Chain A
Amino acid sequence: MSFFFQQLLNALQVGTMYALVSIGYTMVYGVLTMINFAHGDIFMVSSYFAFFFSIFFLRMTSHFPSFLVFPTIVLVTVILTSFLAIIIERLAYKPLGSASKFSAIITALSVGILLENLVLALIGPEPHQIPPLIPDVVYNLQGVAFSSFQVLILAVSFLCMYILDFIVYRTKVGMAMRAISFDKTVVPLMGVPVDRIIEVTFALGAAIAAVGGIIFGSVYSLDPYMGIRIGWWAFIAAVLGGIGNVRGAMIGGLILGGVEIFVVAYTTSAYRDFVAFAILLLLLVFRPTGILGKSQIKKV
C-alpha cells in the first residue's frame, strides 16, 4: 500500500509542475488564440533568474531571517519573469497584429529557440541547481518517504493555483480575460483595454510558470534546454484539459503527471511513452475538445 501512496505523492509532484506551466499556455490561447510555444523557455529563464538571485541572496542571509528567503526569491523571480513575458509580447507578438495565427506560432517557436541558445551562449551549458532554500528534512511515514521541501512545493503550488483561479473567475480582470476569449471583437466596444488585458494575461501566465521554475530548479537541475520537454508536456496537458480553460489546464496537468507515474509504476517503464500517449489519445477520442473544453458551436 505504501508503494501506491509513494507513487501518488510522486504523481502529485510531477503533475503540479505540469499544471503550473500549462496554465500559461491555456491563458494565452484563451485571449490570443495562439499557442505560445516560447512559454516553456520562459519557464526555463525564470529558473535561471531564481538561481542567480538565490546565489546572490544567500550570500547576504546574515542580514535576513531565514524564513524570508524563500518568499523573497519567489517574489523577485515572479516579477522579473512577468517583465520578460511582457517584453516578449510587446516586441515579438504584438507587431504581428491580426496576422494569421500560424505566423504567430513560428514567431513563438523562434522566440523559444532564441531564449534557449541565448542562455546557452551567455551562461554556458553546465547544469546548475538552486541551493536549498529551506532546511530540507526527509520524513518517513509508514514507508512513504517525503521531504519538507516537497510539502512546501505542494502547498505553494496549490496556493498559486487557487489564487489564479480566484483572479480568473472572481475579479474584473479575469472577467475581461474570459470575455476576450469568448468574443474578441465585441470586448473593446465595451470599454475594455484589450491590449492591457493581453499583457496582464502574459504576465500572469509567466508568473505562475516562474513559481514552477523555482520549484523545478530546486528539485531537479536547470540547463538551457530544460524548457523544451516541460513545454511540450505542459502544452499537451493544456490541450488535454481543454485549451482555453484554466481549470482544465490544472486538471490536465495533474492527469498527465498521474498517467506518467502510474504507467511506470504498474507496467514496464520501457513502454512508458507508448502507453501514456495511447491513453491520452483514447481520452481525446472520447472527449475531442479536451476534458473541460466546450464543443465549439460553429455558426453558419
Chain B
Amino acid sequence: MKYRYLLLRVLISLYLIVFACVVPSGGTPTATGTVIKIGLNAELTGSIPKVGKSCKQGAELAVKEVNDAGGLEVAGQKCKIQLFVEDNEDKADVSASVTQKLIAQRGVLAIVGPNASRNAIPASEIAESAKVPLIGPWPTNPKFTIDSKTGQPKKYAFRLMYLDSNQGIENAKFVKEEFNASKVAVLYDIGSEYNKGMADVFKKAFEELGGSVVAFEAYSSGDKDFASQLTKIKAANPDVIFFPNYYNEVSLQLQQAHKLGIKAIFMTTDASFSSEFLILGGKDVEGACLYSTFIADVASASPIAKKFIESYRAAYGEDPDDVAALTYDSFGVLFQAIQMVGKIDSQAVRDALATPHSYEGATGKTTFVGTGDPLKSIYWIQVKDGQFRAYIPKNYHP
C-alpha cells in the first residue's frame, strides 16, 4: 500500500524542487556593464506564426550586426547584446505572462514586441507598471499607447507604426482622390481588432468625403471561403474594394474575387505587404494597391534599406517583410536611445525615447515627438509584374 500515492508524492516533490530552483534566478536587473539584455515578445505559435518568425529574424539580425561589430558603444565601453526570445502564442494572457517573465526573471532593459495589438496591449500594461520601456514594431491600435483609465498617453509604451485611426483616413482620401471612386466595398475580419478598426475608420472617412460604401461585409478570423460575401459585393458593383486584412487572407480573397469575375480596383493595407502575398496570390494580385512603411523594391530603396535587405537575404534566404524591417528598426531606435543617454538603465532609456528625436532606418524616417506615437512616412505600392513597385500617386495629395 506504500506505493499507492507514489505518483502523487513524486509530483508534489517535483513542484517544490522546481519552484525552489526557478525562484532565485533573474531579479537583479540588467547589465553588469558588459551585457545588455533585451527581450523579444513574439507570436511564434498561434494564428500568425509568420509574423512572429519575421519579427524574430529581424531582431536576431539587428543584434547580430551589433555584436559582430564588437558590441554597442555605450559611454566609451563596448557592450554585447543578449536577446531573450519568448513566444506569446498569440494569446493575450500568455503575452502578459512572458512580458512579466522577461522583466522579473531575465531582468531585461527593454522589450520589443508583440506585434498584434491584442497581445501588445496587455504587454504594455505590464511594462508600464514595471517601468520598463516596450517598443511595439507593428501594433496600430491607439489603445496600445493610451492609458485607458486616465486617457493620457502611457509613459513606457512606444510604437514604430502609424495609428490606424490616422491611416484609415488617409486610405479613404487616397481611394477617393486617386481613383475618383464614388462606390466602395469593404471586406474585413470582424474578429480581429486591426481589420475591424481600419474598416470602420475607412468607412466613416470615405462617407465624410462624399462617397458611398455600397457593401460592408464581414467574415470571421480563420475563414478561407469568402465566396458568399464576395458574391454580395459583386452584386453591389463597387469601383474599389478595400481589404484591410492580413496577406494570407487577402491573397485568397483576390483569387476568389477573380474567379467570380469581379472587376474593380483592389486596395489593401500594409498587413499584406509580404513576399508571401505575391507567392500565394500569383497572378491574381496583379495590380493591387497597398502601402507600407517599407519598400522591398530595391531600386527605389534608400542605402540603409538596401543594406538591410541584402543582409536579410543573405542570412535567411528570403526577402524581408515589413514586420522584419520594423523590428530591425525598433532595435535601431533602442540602440540609438541607449547611446544617446550613455547609461544602461530602463528609466534613462525611456526618457531618451520620449525626447523628440528622429531615427533613419530601413523603414525610412521615424520621428518621435515626445509621446509613444511617432510620425512616419509611408510609400504607396502597386503589384506590377509579380513584384512590389513604388506607386507614384497622380491625383492624390497627402
Contacts and interface: CB of A to CB of B under 8 A. Distances in A.
A117 interface: yes
Given A3-B235, A129-B280, A272-B220, A10 B228 contact: yes
Contacts of A7: 227-228, 231
Interface stretch (B42-50, B285-293, B340-348): B42-50
Given A120-B45, A221-B280, A265 B259 contact: no
A240 interface: no
Residue from the set B220, B231, B261 with the largest chain A CB neighbour count within 10 Å? B231
Interface in B46-67: 47-50, 52-53
Interface string B161-193: 000000000000000000000000000001000
Contacts of B245: none
Contacts of B232: 264-265, 269
B50 A126 contact: yes
Contacts of A225: 47, 222
Given A120-B45, A269-B228, A145 B252 contact: no
A208 B47 CA distance: 26
Interface string A198-221: 000000000000000000100011
Contact of A269 (B45, B218, B225): B218
Chain A, interface SS category:
helix
Contact of B228 (A126, A140, A228, A260): A260
Interface string B244-255: 000010011000
A220 B225 contact: yes
Interface residues of A, number: 38
A216 B325 CA distance: 32
A127 to B, nearest CB: 5
Q: How large is the interface on B (under 10, 10 to 19, 20 to 34, 35 or more residues)?
A: 20 to 34
A271 to B, nearest CB: 9
Given A10-B231, A126-B276, A127-B280, A221 B49 contact: no
Contact of B260 (A125, A145, A269): A145
Contact of A125 (B53, B227, B251): B53
A109 to B, nearest CB: 16
A221 B228 contact: no
Interface in A99-145: 117, 120, 124-129, 138, 140, 145
A269 B229 contact: yes
B351 interface: no
Contacts of A273: 220
A129 to B, nearest CB: 6
Given A125-B53, A223-B248, A265 B190 contact: no
Interface of B: 45, 47-50, 52-53, 190, 217-220, 222-225, 227-229, 231-232, 235, 248, 251-252, 258-261, 276, 280
